[in-house]
C-alpha cells in the first residue's frame, strides 16, 4: 500500500508509524537467572544453619539477608541487560561475581568496619561491565549529560541539606560522632553497593520496563513504591514512626527525582549521583 | 512541551527555587512562629511556578514551600501539641500543597484550550487557499509540526484509490497507519523500542461522513499522555472534516467555474445563431424579393400590354422559372423547419439507376449554364442506389449548383460515383477558389455562409445543411475537403440497392 508524497524538504525524518510493521510488545520477564537465585538461597540457608548451630554469630544472618537483597537486585539488572544486549553474553557469571563481591564486602565490613573498603569493588566490577557496553539497556550509558548530572547532584544536595537541617530539629538526631572512619565505611557501602543496586534495579529495570508500557506517572509510582519499600525493609533503618515517616517523604521525593532524571536523560547515572549525594548527607546523621 | 525546559524556563525555575529558599530563611529569621502572617508570602512562588510551569511546577514549588516550613511546624507541634496557631499553619501548608498543583492544572488546561483553538484556526487558514491535496497536506503538516515541537508527524489521506502522504514516502503494509486506515480505530504504541527513552506513537483516524478518510500519526520521544492523545484524536476528526469541507468547496468552485464556462459558451453560440438568423432573414428577404419583383413586373406587363404569342411564352417561361425558384426556397425553409423541430425528412427509398439519375440531374446545368463543363463519371455496368429519387435529385443539384456558383467560368465540375462495399460513394468536385480552412467545419451548419460567399453568389445558407440532412436520412455520410485555389471536393455515401 504505497501512496504519493507531496514535495517536502524534510524527508530525512522517518516516521515509524508509516514505515514499520507493528509488532507485539515483548513479554514481561523480570526474573533473575536461576543459578544466581540458587546461589543466594544457598547462602542464606547456609548462614541460617550456621547461626542456628551456633557456629556463627546472628550478625551473619543479617549480612546474608543484605547479600540476598543486593544480589537479587543486581542479578535481575544483569539478567535484563543480557536479554536486551548481545545474545552471546550470559549474565550468570557476572551475577555470581557480583554476589561474591557483595558477600565479601559486607562480611568484611561486619567483621571490621574498615572492611567496607571492599564495597567499591562491586561498583568497579559493574563499571567494567558498563565499559564493555553490557549495561546500556539498564540505563548505564556514556556520556551522561552534564545538565542531568548537575540536576541530580542539586536534587540530592537539596534533599540532603534539608534533612540535615530538619532532622535535628524535628527528630532530635544529631550529626554522627563516631569518627570519619565510620562515616566513610557507611559511604563506601552506599557508593559500592547500595546506590548501585537500587538504581540499576528500580530505575534501570523496573521503571524502564514500566515507562515503556505505561505513562511516566504510573511508572514512577511503581518504582517509588518499590524503592521506598526496599528501604523500609532495611534492618538498619530505625523503626520509630517519625523516622519512618521522614524516610518515606525523603525517599519518595528522591525516587521521583531519580525517575524524572532517568526519564529525561535515559541514564541512571544522574539519579545515582543524586542518591549518592543524599546518602552522603544521611550518613552524616547518627541514625541507627 | 518542548519549550517548558528551555534555558529561559530553567532560569525562571532557578529563580523561583532561590526565591523560595530565600523566603524560608527570611521568614525563619524575622518571624518563625507558626501562623505568622509572613507564611502567606510562600503563596507567591508557588502560584508563580504554577502559572509558569503548570501542575508539576506548582506541585514542586508547594512541596518545596512545605518542606521549608515543616521543620519549624513540627518543632512547634512537639512543643505545644495541636494548638490553634499550629493548626492554622498546618492548614496553610495543606492549602499550598493542594493549591499549587490545582492552579497549575487549571493554567495548563487553559493553555491547552487556547493552543487547541489556535491550532484549529490555523488549520482553517491553511485550508482556505485553493491548493491541490498534496500541497494542502504538506502545509498542514508543517503547521502541526510547529505546534507539537519535537514530534515527528505524518498525515495520510485517501484520494480515490491512492494515498496522499505528507511526512513519508508511503504506507507500509502492517504499519500502524495501515492498521488505523483499515480499522478506523486509533492506535497507541507506548514504545517502539530500541532507544534509551520510550518513543511513543499515536495514530488517530480522520473521519468524515462516517468513513475513515485518512489518519494523523504523531510520535515522539517522551510522554504522550491520555490528554495529549485525546487532543490528537479530536484534532484528527477536525482535520478530517476540514479536509472534506475543503475538498467539497474545491469541487463546488470547479463546478461553478465549469458551469460559468459552459454558460458563456452557450451564450456565445446563441449570439452567433442569432446573428446568423438575422443575416438569414435579410438574405431570405432578398432572395424572395428578387423573384417576386420579377413576377410582379412581368405580370403587370402582361396585364397592361398586348404581346405577341412568342413573347408571352418567353415571359411565362421566365415567370415559371422564378416561381420554381421561390418554391425551392420555400421547400428548403420548410424542410429546415422540420429538422429544427426534430422531425425526420420524408423519404421513400427505392432502387434507383444511378447513371440515369445523375445524367438527368446535371442535364439542366449542362443546358442552362454553358459557362461550366459538367462531367459525370459512373462505373460500367448496372449501378443502383436505394434512395428517394427526389431527395437524390436535390442532393446532386444542390451540390452541382454550389460547385458552379463558387468556381470560375470555364472551369470543370466533376460528378462521379463508384461502388464501395455495400454502398455507393459520390463525389462532386470543382476547380474553384476553395473554402477557408476555418470555415470547413461549419459549411453544413444551417444559415452558415463562408466569409466572402455572399459577394460571390446568391444563396441563403440552407443548401448544404439540407444535403447533409438528406444524406444522413438515408444512413449515409458526407464530408468536404478543400484546397485553396485548387477547388473543393464534397463526398457522400448512399446505400446501394440490394
| Residue A193 sits in the same domain as residue A263 | yes
Query: Where in chain B is CATH 3.30.565.10?
Result: 350-495
Q: Which of B136, B143, B172 to mutate to test the interface with A (most CBs of A within 10 A)?
A: B172
Q: Is the pLDDT of residue A12 over 60?
A: no
Tell me the residues of chain A between 240 and 269 that have a Cβ less than 8 Å away from chain B: 253, 263-264, 266-267
* CA distance to partner chain B, nearest, from residue A63 (Å): 35
- Strands, sheet with B423-429, edge to edge from the N-terminal-most edge strand: B373-377, B412-420, B423-429, B487-495, B478-483
Q: Which of A117-121, A234-238, B429-433 has the lowest mean pLDDT?
A: A234-238
Longest Cα–Cα distance of chain A, Å, equals 82
A17 found inside a domain: no
Q: Which residue of A has its CA nearest to B175?
A: A21
Q: For chain A, how many structural domains are there in total?
A: 2
Residue that finishes a domain, picked among A70, A105, A136: A136
Q: Is the pLDDT of residue A30 over 70?
A: no
The closest CB to that of B168, out of A1, A15, A263, belongs to A15
* CA distance to partner chain B, nearest, from residue A167 (Å): 8
The closest CB to that of B174, out of A11, A22, A25, belongs to A22
> Which residues in chain B have Cβ-Cβ distances shorter than 8 Å to A141?
196
A218 in contact with chain B, both atoms CB, cutoff 8 A: no
Q: Residue B5 has what pLDDT?
A: 59
> Which residues in chain B have Cβ-Cβ distances shorter than 8 Å to A246?
none
Q: Residue A93 has what pLDDT?
A: 85
Tell me the residues of chain B between 112 and 141 that have a Cβ less than 8 Å away from chain A: 134-135, 137-138
**A78: buried, middle or exposed (CB in 10 Å: 19+, 13-18, 0-12)?**
buried
The closest CB to that of A215, out of B169, B201, B223, belongs to B223
| Residue A130 sits in the same domain as residue A150 | no
Q: Which residue of B has its CA nearest to A250?
A: B67
The closest CB to that of B152, out of A13, A21, A216, belongs to A13
CATH of domain B130-255: 3.30.450.40
| Residue A190 sits in the same domain as residue A274 | yes
> Which residues in chain B have Cβ-Cβ distances shorter than 8 Å to A13?
152, 167
Q: Which residue of B has its CA nearest to A267?
A: B196
B155 in contact with chain A, both atoms CB, cutoff 8 A: no
The Cα–Cα gap between B165 and B285 comes to: 68
Closest CA to B213 of B189, B188, B236: B236
Q: Residue A210 has what pLDDT?
A: 93
Residue that finishes a domain, picked among A136, A165, A187: A136
| Residue A123 sits in the same domain as residue A45 | yes
* CA distance to partner chain A, nearest, from residue B106 (Å): 19
A70 found inside a domain: yes
> Which residues in chain B have Cβ-Cβ distances shorter than 8 Å to A263?
197, 222
CATH class of B350-495: alpha beta
| Residue A209 sits in the same domain as residue A242 | yes
| Residue A186 sits in the same domain as residue A91 | no
Query: Where in chain B is CATH 3.30.450.40?
Result: 130-255
Q: What is the model's pTM?
A: 0.69
* CA distance to partner chain B, nearest, from residue A40 (Å): 31
The closest CB to that of B190, out of A213, A264, A266, belongs to A213
**B239, three cell numbers:** 482535520
Residue that finishes a domain, picked among A114, A136, A158: A136
| Residue A74 sits in the same domain as residue A206 | no
Confidence band (pLDDT; 50, 70, 90) for A111?
confident
Q: Residue B263 has what pLDDT?
A: 96
The closest CB to that of B203, out of A6, A17, A25, belongs to A17
B207 in contact with chain A, both atoms CB, cutoff 8 A: no
The Cα–Cα gap between B412 and B372 comes to: 6
Confidence band (pLDDT; 50, 70, 90) for A85?
low
| Residue A277 sits in the same domain as residue A147 | yes
Residue by residue, pLDDT tens for chain B (498 residues) are 334 557 788 788 888 888 888 888 888 888 877 778 888 889 999 999 999 999 989 999 999 899 888 888 887 887 888 888 888 888 999 999 999 999 999 999 999 899 989 988 988 888 877 778 888 889 899 989 888 888 899 999 987 788 889 988 888 888 999 999 999 999 999 998 878 889 999 999 998 888 899 999 999 998 898 889 999 999 999 999 988 888 888 888 889 999 999 999 999 999 988 887 787 787 778 778 878 888 898 888 888 888 888 888 888 888 888 888 888 888 878 887 777 777 777 889 999 999 889 988 888 888 777 888 889 988 777 788 999 998 899 899 899 988 998 888 889 999 999 988 778 999 999 998 888 888 888 888 877 777 777 667 767 777 888 899 899 989 999 999 999 888 999 999 999 988
DSSP symbols for A217-267: HHHHHHHHHHHHHHHHT-TTS---HHHHHHHHHHHHHHHHHHHHHHHHHS-
- Which residues contact residue B22 at a Cβ distance below 8 angstroms, ignoring those fewer than 6 apart? none
| Residue A148 sits in the same domain as residue A270 | yes
**B90, three cell numbers:** 498546618
**B398, three cell numbers:** 444542390
* CA distance to partner chain A, nearest, from residue B204 (Å): 11
**Cβ contact (<8 Å) for B190 and A25?**
yes
The Cα–Cα gap between A166 and A246 comes to: 10
A5 found inside a domain: no
Look up cell 521506598; give the residue.
A228
**B320, three cell numbers:** 415559371
The Cα–Cα gap between B464 and B402 comes to: 9
Confidence band (pLDDT; 50, 70, 90) for A284?
very high
| Residue A59 sits in the same domain as residue A101 | yes
| Residue A201 sits in the same domain as residue A256 | yes
Dihedral sign for Cα atoms in the order B392, B395, B401, B407: negative
When pLDDT is averaged across residues A79-99 and rounded to a whole number, the result is 81
Q: Residue A11 has what pLDDT?
A: 41
DSSP state of A136: G
Residue A123: give the domain boundaries: 34-136
B2 in contact with chain A, both atoms CB, cutoff 8 A: no
Whether the CB-CB separation of B156 and B177 falls below 8 Å is answered with yes
Amino acid at each position: 500500500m504505497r501512496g504519493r508524497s507531496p514535495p517536502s524538504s524534510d524527508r530525512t525524518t522517518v516516521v515509524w508509524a508509516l514505515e514499520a510493521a507493528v509488532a507485539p510488545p515483548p513479554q514481561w520477564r523480570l526474573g533473575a537467572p536461576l543459578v544466581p537465585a540458587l546461589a543466594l538461597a544457598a547462602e542464606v540457608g547456609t548462614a541460617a544453619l550456621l547461626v542456628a548451630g551456633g557456629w556463627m554469630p546472628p550478625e551473619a544472618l543479617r549480612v546474608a539477608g543484605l547479600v540476598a537483597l543486593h544480589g537479587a537486585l543486581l542479578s535481575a539488572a544483569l539478567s535484563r541487560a543480557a536479554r536486551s544486549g548481545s545474545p552471546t553474553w550470559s549474565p550468570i557469571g557476572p551475577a555470581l561475581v557480583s554476589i561474591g563481591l557483595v558477600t565479601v564486602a559486607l562480611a568484611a565490613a561486619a567483621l571490621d568496619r574498615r572492611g567496607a573498603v571492599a564495597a567499591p569493588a562491586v561498583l568497579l566490577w559493574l563499571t567494567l561491565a558498563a565499559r564493555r557496553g553490557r549495561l546500556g539497556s539498564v540505563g548505564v550509558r556514556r556520556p551522561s549529560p552534564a545538565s542531568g548530572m548537575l540536576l541530580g547532584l542539586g536534587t540530592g544536595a537539596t534533599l540532603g541539606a534539608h534533612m540535615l537541617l530538619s532532622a535535628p530539629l524535628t527528630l532530635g538526631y544529631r550529626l554522627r560522632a563516631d569518627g570519619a572512619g565510620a562515616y566513610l565505611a557507611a559511604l563506601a557501602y552506599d557508593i559500592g553497593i547500595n546506590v548501585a543496586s537500587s538504581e540499576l534495579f528500580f530505575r534501570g529495570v523496573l521503571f524502564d520496563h514500566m515507562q515503556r508500557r505505561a505513562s511516566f506517572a504510573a511508572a514512577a509510582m511503581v518504582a517509588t513504591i518499590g524503592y521506598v519499600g526496599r528501604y523500609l525493609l532495611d534492618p538498619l533503618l530505625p523503626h520509630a514512626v517519625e523516622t519512618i515517616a521522614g524516610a518515606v517523604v525523603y525517599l519518595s521525593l528522591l525516587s521521583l527525582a531519580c525517575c524524572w532524571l532517568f526519564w529525561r536523560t535515559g541514564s541512571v547515572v544522574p539519579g545515582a549521583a543524586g542518591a549518592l549525594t543524599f546518602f552522603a548527607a544521611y550518613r552524616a546523621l547518627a541514625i541507627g | 512541551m518542548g519549550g517548558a525546559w528551555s534555558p529561559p524556563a530553567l532560569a525562571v525555575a532557578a529563580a523561583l527555587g532561590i526565591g523560595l529558599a530565600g523566603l524560608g530563611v527570611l521568614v525563619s529569621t524575622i518571624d518563625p512562629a507558626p501562623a505568622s502572617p509572613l507564611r502567606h508570602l510562600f503563596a507567591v512562588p508557588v502560584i508563580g511556578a504554577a502559572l509558569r510551569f503548570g501542575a508539576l511546577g506548582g506541585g514542586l514549588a508547594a512541596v518545596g514551600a512545605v518542606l521549608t516550613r515543616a521543620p519549624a511546624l513540627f518543632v512547634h507541634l512537639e512543643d505545644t501539641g495541636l494548638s490553634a496557631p499550629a493548626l492554622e499553619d498546618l492548614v496553610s501548608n495543606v492549602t499550598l500543597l493542594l493549591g499549587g498543583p490545582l492552579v497549575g492544572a487549571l493554567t495548563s488546561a487553559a493553555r491547552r484550550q487556547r493552543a487547541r483553538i489556535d491550532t484549529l484556526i490555523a488549520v482553517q487558514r491553511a485550508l482556505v487557499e485553493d491548493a491541490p491535496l498534496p500541497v494542502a497536506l504538506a502545509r498542514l503538516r508543517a503547521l502541526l509540526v510547529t505546534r507539537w515541537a519535537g514530534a515527528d508527524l505524518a498525515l495520510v489521506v485517501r484520494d480515490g484509490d491512492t494515498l496522499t502522504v505528507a511526512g513519508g514516502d508511503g504506507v507500509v503494509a502492517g504499519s500502524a497507519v495501515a492498521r488505523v486506515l483499515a480499522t478506523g480505530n486509533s492506535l497507541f504504541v507506548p514504545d517502539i523500542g530500541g532507544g534509551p527513552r520510550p518513543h511513543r506513537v499515536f495514530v488517530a483516524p480522520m473521519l468524515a461522513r462516517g468513513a475513515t478518510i485518512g489518519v494523523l500519526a504523531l510520535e515522539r520521544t517522551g510522554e504522550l499522555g491520555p490528554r495529549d492523545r485525546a487532543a490528537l484524536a479530536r484534532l484528527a476528526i477536525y482535520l478530517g472534516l476540514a479536509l472534506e469541507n475543503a475538498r467539497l468547496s474545491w469541487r463546488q468552485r470547479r463546478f461553478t467555474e465549469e458551469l460559468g464556462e459552459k454558460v458563456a459558451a452557450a451564450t456565445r453560440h446563441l449570439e452567433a445563431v442569432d446573428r446568423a438568423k438575422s443575416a438569414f432573414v435579410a438574405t431570405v428577404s432578398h432572395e424572395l424579393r428578387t423573384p417576386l419583383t420579377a413576377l410582379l413586373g412581368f405580370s403587370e406587363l402582361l396585364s397592361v400590354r398586348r404581346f405577341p404569342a412568342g413573347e408571352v411564352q418567353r415571359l411565362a417561361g421566365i415567370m415559371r422559372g422564378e416561381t420554381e425558384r421561390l418554391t425551392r426556397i420555400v421547400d428548403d425553409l420548410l424542410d429546415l423547419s422540420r429538422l429544427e423541430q426534430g422531425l425526420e425528412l420524408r423519404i421513400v427509398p427505392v432502387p434507383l439507376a444511378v447513371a440515369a439519375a445523375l445524367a438527368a440531374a446535371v442535364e439542366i446545368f449542362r443546358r442552362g449554364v454553358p459557362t461550366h463543363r459538367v462531367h459525370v463519371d459512373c462505373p460500367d455496368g448496372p449501378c443502383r442506389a436505394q434512395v428517394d429519387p427526389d431527395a437524390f435529385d436535390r442532393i446532386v443539384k444542390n451540390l452541382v449548383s454550389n460547385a458552379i456558383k463558387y468556381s470560375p467560368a470555364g472551369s470543370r465540375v466533376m460528378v462521379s460515383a463508384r461502388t464501395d462495399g455495400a454502398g455507393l460513394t459520390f463525389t462532386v468536385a470543382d476547380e474553384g477558389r476553395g473554402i477557408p480552412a476555418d470555415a470547413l467545419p461549419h459549411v453544413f451548419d444551417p444559415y452558415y455562409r463562408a466569409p466572402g460567399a455572399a459577394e460571390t453568389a446568391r444563396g441563403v445558407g440552407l443548401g448544404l445543411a439540407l444535403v447533409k440532412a438528406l444524406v444522413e436520412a438515408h444512413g449515409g455520410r458526407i464530408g468536404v475537403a478543400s484546397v485553396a485555389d485548387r477547388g473543393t471536393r464534397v463526398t457522400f455515401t448512399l446505400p446501394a440497392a440490394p
